Amino acid sequence: MRLGVLDVGSNTVHLLVVDAHPGARPLPAYSHKAELRLAELLDDDGAIDDDGVDRLTETVREAMEVAEDHGVAEVLKFATSAVREASNADTVLERVVRETGVELTVLSGEDEARLTFLAARRWQGWSAGRLLLFDIGGGSLEIALGIDEEPDVAVSLPLGAGRLTNDRLPGDPPSPSDVRALRRAVRSEVAKVVGRFNRIGPPDRVVATSKTFKQLARIAGAARSAEGLYVRRELGRDDLRTWGQKLAEMTVQERQELQGVSEGRARQLLAGAVVAEAAMDLFGVETLEICPWALREGVILRRLDSMRTA
């Protein structure tokens, strides 16, 4: 059957269409996305502003039309950090339903971490052993650790690259003092949860998902996306530290000119690097592997699992 997953994220609204059957690997058929950067459209009260709600509603309507055009039998629809934490979340969700008929399921941060972990586990396989996962989104950082398909511990921290850029890095390039302050704040937040993971035991493999990690790995020398999903891509802590220093001195325009960096994410890449380096440092990770499957695939896999047991 053909399934769609509509992901209303902090950076993009992304419709992924797959051909999927219980017990088989989902095969991507079509991808449609729009960059709204909702995490950057919050007003002083933490609400998504009127322009953001207008754009979100129209984008959701368009995505559902695309899903219909591509013969999707069922669309799994969810929203993450930007909508979850908006002070007017209920109003936003009600308007989307009223104008499009689409009811968005709002995932908790822990749900995000668990579903992303499921996707990474299925991609890596059981031979990966105890798996440690990092995922940097626009609004939050998810971390999960476990040996099964359900992680033993999963947390979500308000350390998304879009959120931090908007709140803490106003300059272009940002001032050294702002970068240092961000670094201190991020490390303090990550350090609060490290002990919960250390009690479980060290990981056998560390993986990362998300556009932020993919772009950081690319500028550090990892293979291009055009070389395929199955090429191993890694990111080392030393390379990340070097590039973090370089990114701090670059303007947004200069970051856009780097190989593999998209125009829409260039502004956020420094904050993402600060978060990634903090996570790797505080968890004692020298090298991690980029996993191509993430939250959307986790949502699809969970739905296929439910079909098998129905």
* Residue 196's pLDDT band (cuts 50, 70, 90): very high
Query: What is the bridge-based pairing of β-strands 74-79 and 105-106?
Result: parallel
Judge contact between 262 and 167, C-beta under 8 A: no
pLDDT for the residue 225: 87
pTM over 0.85: yes
pLDDT of residue 310 exceeding 70, the answer is no
pLDDT band at 109 (very low <50, low <70, confident <90, very high): very high
- Type of residue found at 13: V
DSSP 138: S
DSSP secondary structure, 156-192, as one string: EES--HHHHHHHH--SSSPPHHHHHHHHHHHHHHHHH
Sheet of 12-19: strands edge to edge? 27-35, 12-19, 2-8, 74-79, 105-106
What single-letter amino acid sits at 188?
A: S
pLDDT higher than threshold 80 for residue 308: no
Render pLDDT for 4-60 as a digit per residue (tens, 0 to 9). Answer: 999 999 889 999 999 988 888 899 999 999 998 887 777 878 899 888 999 999 999
d(CA 130, CA 285): 14
- Express each pLDDT in 244-293 by its tens digit: 999 999 999 999 999 989 888 899 999 999 999 999 999 999 999 999 99
Q: Set out the domains of the chain in order of their start, with CATH numbers.
A: 2-106 (3.30.420.40), 109-295 (3.30.420.150)
